[in-house]
């Protein structure tokens, strides 16, 4: 037998199923330790990341050693978003059933672009399309595409609107581009999320030329300040202000837009799921009157990352805006997912979204949302009693907090972030720093809230 070659070594590593057992052991170890883990990595854990600074290996490495290195130095440097005391950036937790389904689908490694590439990915995307529309109270024939997150989902919805507005004026933006195209007006909440501004820029609609509508003290569009709309207008609303959790008045504004023939897009990254709760659906009254919507699975719904969802009332507008051609593309009479999103090759996000919704069911989605609101309101009541100043009406999962002075607010936030007990983010609100608490994990308990409140009191220093 000759000397073992690089090819032989690589093949033996590729066929080593023991690596999955090793990875499973590390994963279970992480799950078991998550509640006692510092919510943010320690300075030592971050410093130890220097172990990854090395030249490209010259030869095939041992798979077991690679996993060991990831577990030893990578796991301690993770942020404990799957614990109960992480409240930053509206980063959701993950439903265990969905995480397990993703493990399976990762091994399947399906390309979800075309039906012929993955019938299961196509079938489940078709199923969850109907489920999402049903849960959100949208028309049964609402179209859906799965993307990386709401940033891209917003862009898809706006692209569909851009196409539809120009098409009504006899202009094919796919063929003719934007040079010389009829003007499109954009009307948007002055406090729209950054992903909206990014999407407008990428679509060539600009940021400086949009018509910004003033917002009230909760970040909601002031309806009386809406400009007169027309059929050349894209109106962008939000379901869940990034700092306050507030909702625009969809019912009134959509009525104005529909009468004028304008296109309405709703950015509902974490807030749109309120429509699935009987207790919270008043917040989303009128969303069915819009033309397109964007929402994440990986925020308040707690699917694994990444899972953004674009929904569109007008299937042809979305699929035409996302059109792709190529003689090699083998289309089918079944669903071909790539014609609903910008990307062609992509992973099968439908599998974990299906597993999440299958596990939760209608009642579970509602309960998930209701409990997040309950925890946020516990923050509101306990922090207010402790002398903090609550800046928002806590109607969803956001609690916006200030101390007595801007300096004290900033210092309190820095101390609590360094404490390891809990982690929350910051924002500027009315020109001053604020502490932004986003409850978005199924695992957050009343005890987690109480412990986090005590950490904030201690960080404030009085």
Specify whether the CB–CB gap between 115 and 335 falls below 8 A. yes
What pLDDT does residue 1 have?
Answer: 42
DSSP letters along 197-222, please?
Answer: HHHHHHTT--STTSEEEPB-TTS-B-
Neighbours of 399 (CB within 10 A): 31
Q: Cα(120)–Cα(236) distance, rounded to whole angstroms?
A: 34
* Helix/strand/coil (H/E/C) assignment for every residue in 53-72: CCCCCCCCCCHHHHHHHHHH
Local confidence pLDDT in tens for the 462 residues of the chain: 456 677 787 888 788 899 999 999 999 999 999 999 999 999 999 999 999 999 999 998 999 999 999 999 999 999 999 999 999 999 999 999 999 999 999 999 999 999 999 999 999 999 999 999 999 999 999 999 999 999 999 999 999 999 999 999 999 999 999 999 999 999 999 999 999 999 999 999 998 999 999 999 999 999 999 999 999 999 999 999 999 999 999 999 999 999 999 999 999 999 999 999 999 999 999 999 999 999 999 999 999 999 999 999 999 999 999 998 888 889 888 999 999 999 999 999 999 999 999 999 999 999 999 999 999 999 999 999 999 999 999 999 999 999 999 999 999 999 999 999 999 999 999 999 999 999 999 999 999 999 999 999 999 996
Cα torsion 150, 151, 153, 156 to 10°: value is 170
Q: Cα(398)–Cα(375) distance, rounded to whole angstroms?
A: 10
Q: Cα(41)–Cα(375) distance, rounded to whole angstroms?
A: 24
The pair of three-digit structure tokens given for residue 167, joined into one six-digit string? 């098409």
Q: Is the pTM of this model over 0.75?
A: yes
Q: Which residues pair with 232 in a beta bridge?
A: none
What pLDDT does residue 2 have?
Answer: 52
Q: Cα(24)–Cα(290) distance, rounded to whole angstroms?
A: 44
Which CATH number does 99-357 carry?
Answer: 3.40.640.10
Angle among Cα 385, 391, 395 to the nearest 5 degrees reads: 90
Of 191, 194, 104, 201, the residue nearest 150 (C-alpha): 194
Of 180, 189, 182, 184, the residue nearest 162 (C-alpha): 184
Specify whether the CB–CB gap between 151 and 198 falls below 8 A. yes
Q: SS3 of 417, please?
A: helix
Q: Cα(159)–Cα(164) distance, rounded to whole angstroms?
A: 9
Q: Cα(230)–Cα(122) distance, rounded to whole angstroms?
A: 38
- Please give the distance of CA 265 from its chain centroid, rounded to a whole number: 16
DSSP letters along 364-414, please?
Answer: HHHHHHHHHHHHHHHHHHHHHHTT-EE-S--SSSEEEEE-SSHHHHHHHHH
The pair of three-digit structure tokens given for residue 435, joined into one six-digit string? 């502490």
> Running DSSP on this structure, what letter comes out for residue 326?
-
Query: Cα separations (Å) of 325 from 10, 72, 125?
Result: 37, 46, 21
β-pairing, 389-390 with 423-429?
unpaired
Q: Which residues pair with 117 in a beta bridge?
A: none
Q: How many CA atoms lie within 13 A of 141 on its CB side?
A: 3
Residue linked to tokens 């019912």? 251
Residue linked to tokens 């949208």? 138
Cβ neighbourhood burial of 416 (10 Å; 0-12, 13-18, 19+): buried
């Amino acid at each position: 037998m000759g000397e073992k070659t690089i090819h032989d070594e690589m093949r033996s590593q590729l066929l080593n199923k023991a690596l999955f057992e090793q990875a499973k052991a590390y994963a279970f170890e992480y799950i078991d330790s998550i509640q006692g883990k510092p919510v943010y990595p320690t300075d030592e854990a971050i410093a130890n990341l220097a172990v990854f600074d090395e030249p490209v290996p010259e030869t095939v490495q041992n798979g077991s050693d690679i996993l060991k290195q990831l577990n030893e130095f990578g796991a301690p440097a993770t942020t404990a978003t799957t614990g109960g005391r992480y409240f930053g950036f509206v980063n959701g937790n993950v439903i265990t059933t969905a995480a397990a389904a993703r493990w399976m689908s990762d091994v399947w490694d399906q390309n979800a672009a075309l039906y012929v590439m993955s019938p299961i990915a196509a079938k489940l995307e078709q199923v969850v399309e109907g489920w999402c529309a049903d849960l959100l109270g949208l028309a049964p024939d609402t179209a859906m595409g799965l993307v990386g997150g709401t940033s891209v989902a917003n862009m898809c919805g706006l692209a569909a609107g851009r196409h539809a507005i120009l098409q009504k004026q006899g202009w094919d933006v796919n063929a003719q581009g934007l040079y010389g195209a009829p003007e499109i007006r954009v009307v948007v909440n002055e406090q729209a999320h950054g992903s909206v501004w990014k999407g407008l820029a990428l679509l060539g609609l600009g940021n400086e030329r949009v018509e910004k509508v003033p917002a009230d003290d909760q970040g909601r569009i002031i309806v009386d300040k809406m400009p007169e709309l027309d059929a050349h207008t894209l109106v962008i609303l939000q379901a869940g202000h990034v700092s306050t959790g507030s909702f625009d008045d969809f019912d009134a504004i959509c009525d104005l837009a529909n009468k004028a023939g304008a296109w309405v897009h709703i950015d509902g990254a974490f807030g749109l799921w309120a429509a699935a709760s009987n207790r919270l659906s008043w917040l989303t009254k009128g969303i069915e009157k819009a033309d397109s919507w964007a929402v994440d699975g990986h925020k308040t719904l707690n699917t694994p990352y990444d899972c953004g969802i674009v929904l569109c009332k007008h299937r042809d507008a979305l699929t035409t805006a996302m059109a792709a051609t190529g003689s090699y593309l083998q289309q089918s009479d079944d669903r071909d997912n790539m014609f609903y999103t910008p990307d062609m090759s992509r992973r099968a996000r439908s599998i974990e979204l299906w597993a999440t919704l299958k596990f939760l069911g209608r009642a579970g989605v509602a309960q998930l949302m209701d409990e997040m609101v309950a925890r946020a309101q516990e923050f509101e009541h306990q922090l207010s009693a402790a002398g903090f100043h609550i800046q928002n009406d806590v109607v969803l999962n956001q609690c916006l907090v200030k101390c007595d002075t801007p300096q004290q607010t900033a210092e309190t936030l820095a101390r609590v972030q360094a404490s390891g007990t809990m982690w929350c983010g910051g924002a500027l609100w009315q020109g001053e720093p604020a502490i932004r608490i986003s409850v978005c994990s199924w695992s957050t308990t009343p005890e987690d809230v109480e412990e986090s409140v005590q950490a904030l009191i201690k960080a404030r220093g009085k």
